[in-house]
Structure 1
Amino acid sequence: MSNIHPTAIVEAGARIDPSVTVGPYAVIGSQVVIGAGSSVGSHCVIQGRTTIGQDNRIFQFASLGAEPQDKKYKGEDTELVIGDRNTVREFCTFNRGVPGAGGKTSIGDDNWIMAYTHIAHDCHVGNHTTMANNTTLAGHVLIGDWVTVGGLTGIHQFVKIGAHAMIGFSSAVSQDVPPFMMVDGNPLSVRGLNLEGLRRRGFSAARVAGIKQMHRALYRQGLTLDAARAAMAELPAAHPEAAADVALVLAFLDASTRGIAR
């Protein structure tokens, strides 16, 4: 295959679309699948049962699909699945899952993942996220769609980050972050709503008004969490355009296991 550099090592059994470009000294294991239009930079190592979709750009020195950094792992057959049109910059490390947690690490579509980002075993990353340099996800982290994570941020295992949330530079995230919120710091604090992100994504003024009322109920009115939930459940009557957004936040609160940043 003319698109594979002669110094690259591609083990027998790997399924690589003929349009894929593989750079010098890359190593690709026997269980790897790479879809059309993707590129793999020099010195990358892709191993294990790793499936990579179409039109991904993987820059030099990335390590994808290595064994999870979990002492319970005993060599079981687990996997890493990456969707389409992702950008993965230098020195990123994405690990496969462990059997007790489903055995799968997944990354969706259209994500922008900057250098030195670590995505540990059994993390699930949605679509259209941005992770700045040195973002670190411990095991079992869930990242919703359109989340932005600032550089040098650490996210504790089992934490959930809701859709459209924004995490500021150098934050320590040990509790769940509800959708739409903007947080930062160590200890983590909620600073407000990710209003600029919502506007860039075409949220109408009516939707944003409903989301602002949810933020008030959760963070500005001194309500207990149960009282805030009850108040939010009534919002669609006054803000019907935000009904789906209210349902998203209420479902997130129901699924939270570590408690929310508050």
Structure 2
Amino acid sequence: MNINQNIVRIRTGTQIGSGIIYPCEACKEYKYKPWYIIFTNRHLVKDLTDISDENKLKKMVAFDIYDQTGKLVDMDLILDIRLFTCQNLSKEDNKEPEGSLKNLVGLEDIAAFLICFEIEIKMDLEIKLMWDDKKLNTIYVEGFPKVLYDNEISSKIQMQGKYKKVFPENNKFGIFQITDDYHWYSNFKDLKLFQGFSGGPVYNMEENSHFIVGLNQSVLNINEGENPFKLLYYYKIKYVLEYLREKGCIIFRRNEDHSVNVRWIYERNKES
């Protein structure tokens, strides 16, 4: 399994960010086609207002998905695409969430795409999920920073961090501190540098095995983009799944190998 396969770049008319692709099942159309769910942040899809029209949606969003050989998957192979944002997007979504737990608790910055490919795409996705992050130490975040968008060598970067306990404890958010050194010899501050990491996977390694820990959400914004403690917030993957289930988007079943079986049920719930 290769965690690098799970990382997707998401591009809309105004936003660039990341997502986590994971195997999924769908209930109706194209039953025997390969389906995947892409977990991401809701603020990344704020300009996708006409989410009920699947044909328009395909024109308004682009995914950079890579197969197991590292080749970019042709977007024309996407047969169907759907979006779940938990509630209707509004003008309030034009504001990116501020980096404090007080502000984050009032928001549900979670969205999910369902995509179907015309043919089977060879991908070696990591499927193991971390259900309890209390014993974590070193963790990683990976994504597509906006400042590297036009970089010809590599537009994706990995950052290493150390897990930090949240006080008081909660079941929704985790915090980690970036331990990698990074500099930008310009006037960019941390908030600018980390744009594009939103929605990317937070993960760890245990005996050469990766576990998806969470969905990256935001950088701590203390003063106009400054982040002296190098802290990032993430949604715990357990919470992401449970929230989407509660809102009628998916159902899932945990397996003994630390994976989950996910089924998309949103359209079925709308019809019932």
| Relative contact order higher in (CA < 8 Å, ≥ 6 apart) | 2
Q: TM-score range by the shorter chain?
A: under 0.3
Q: TM-score, normalised by structure 1?
A: 0.23
Q: Larger C-alpha radius of gyration, 1 or 2?
A: 1
Q: TM-score, normalised by structure 2?
A: 0.23
